[in-house]
Amino acid sequence: MKERHLIALDLDGTLLTDEKVISPKTKETVLRAMDEGHIVVIATGRPHRASINYYHELGLQTPMVNFNGALIHHPTDHKWDALHSPMSVRTAHQIIEACQNLGVRNILAEVKDEVYLDQYDEEIMSIFQTKNDPIHVGQLQANLKSDPTSILIHPEESKISLLRSQLDEHAELIDHRKWGAPYHVIEIVKSGLSKAVGLEKISRYFDIPENRIIAFGDEDNDLEMLDYAGVGVAMGNAINELKDVANHITLTNEEDGIGEFLSDYLNLNKKAM
């Protein structure tokens, strides 16, 4: 009998193609792994509302990590011990003021699935997949009154380095990550949070040791998760920093990297003995 593994999948640039879909081959391989008893979870920087469709497409019934670890919950079992770790609204307002002083294009704050956008912008609403969701548009300093799960900053590309250096001054309060291309977005969550925090909680729940945790990613918000997993796998399109900490490098998200790796590593093309 094969040993059961916990498989953690990042979404953008990893499970999803550049067209934001799961390729047929990767989907078939992930489903085969589940059929053989392996546990599949999604671990993403996206909010619940922008990841739940992929969760249902794979037929998952497992916990999910959203907002880079700021929300760890179970979409189909509300009795599961969820963990929501927002930053304080006071900290959020300090960050918002600092970003506005720098002159960023826009700022979006999320309280779980409730969305607050500083300035109306069709493009950014499309990027963050909030166009059809209830959204509060207007001055964040006045509208945001609850502790936010995350803050998303949309700066000019030329200001990213300066912005991140200024955010480092708040390192005791927040962690910040950069999204991959084509989105020049900085995501901010409470300090100490990462996908690894969620993966550790889920692995304890299923009693899966670290050496049987397989994690896939492509960006700097996957660093801790791949470092924590016994089998950290960087996509072929991953940033170099992630490839440096990974145990393995697979093909790109456009080349069915997840499917190729799982088929080989878990011997999915062979019948279980």
Residue type, 78: H
Identify the pLDDT of residue 1.
53
- Please, what is the average pLDDT of the chain? 91
* Residues with catalytic function: 10
Report pLDDT for 80. Answer: 95
| pTM of full prediction above 0.75 | yes
pLDDT digits (tens, 9 = 90+) for 193-246: 999 999 999 999 999 999 999 999 999 899 999 999 999 999 999 999 999 999
- pLDDT number for residue 273: 37
Pair 115, 153 in one domain? yes
Domains: count for the chain: 2
Q: Are residues 225 and 93 in the same domain?
A: no
Q: Are residues 157 and 204 in the same domain?
A: no
Residue after which a domain boundary falls, among 156, 190, 224: 190
178 shares a domain with 93:
yes
Q: Long-range CB contacts (< 8 A, 24+ apart) of 255-258?
A: 256/23, 256/25, 256/26, 256/29, 257/14, 257/216, 257/233, 258/9, 258/14, 258/15, 258/26, 258/29, 258/30, 258/216
133 pLDDT band (50/70/90 cuts)?
Answer: low
The pair of three-digit structure tokens given for residue 57, joined into one six-digit string: 């497409």
Q: What is the CATH number of the domain that holds 230?
A: 3.40.50.1000
Same domain, yes or no, for 163 and 214? Answer: no
Q: Is residue 64 part of a domain?
A: yes
Q: Which domain holds residue 227?
A: 6-84+193-265
For residue 131, name the pLDDT band (cuts at 50, 70, 90). low
State the pLDDT confidence band at 182, using cuts at 50, 70 and 90: low
Same domain membership, residue 79 and residue 199 = yes
270 falls within a domain? no
Same structural domain, 185 and 97: yes
**What mean pLDDT is predicted for residues 5-25?**
96
Segment 78-116, tens digit of pLDDT: 999 999 999 999 999 999 999 999 899 999 999 988 899
Residue that terminates a domain, selected from 171, 190, 209? 190
pLDDT band at 125 (very low <50, low <70, confident <90, very high): confident
